[in-house]
Amino acid sequence: DTGVSQNPRHKITKRGQNVTFRCDPISEHNRLYWYRQTLGQGPEFLTYFQNEAQLEKSRLLSDRFSAERPKGSFSTLEIQRTEQGDSAMYLCASRYRDSGTGELFFGEGSRLTVL
């Protein structure tokens, strides 16, 4: 078990371009979460999946954002027509649904810089 893996770790792009981030959760974890963290702030919830089903989306997730988890394993977060305000760290976390501890296991994050 290598933990939650996120790629790429850092992405620099020009405004208007599309970017995609990938998250590979811990293998037996069926719940997967995406958070956004801006500099000096705490992470904010974006969306989460149980297996392949996207069960909740935050109002922070505008129409330019889309997340998928096609086979209930890895997940992708795509941002279309990026804006400078999208610059942030995008964190992925996972846990097993029946975990009694509620603990989430986080990846190291994907940092997006929009120029």
Residues at the interface with other proteins (CB under 8 A): 3-4, 31, 33, 35, 40-45, 48, 55-56, 91, 95, 101-104, 106-109
Q: Which of 46, 56, 48, 58 is nearest to 90 (CA)?
A: 46
Q: Give residue for tokens 């086979």.
A: 71
Least distance CB 23 / other proteins (angstroms)? 12
Q: What is the enclosing helix (H) or strand (E) of 103?
A: none
At position 34, the amino acid (one-letter code) is W
Least distance CB 15 / other proteins (angstroms)? 25
Least distance CB 20 / other proteins (angstroms)? 20
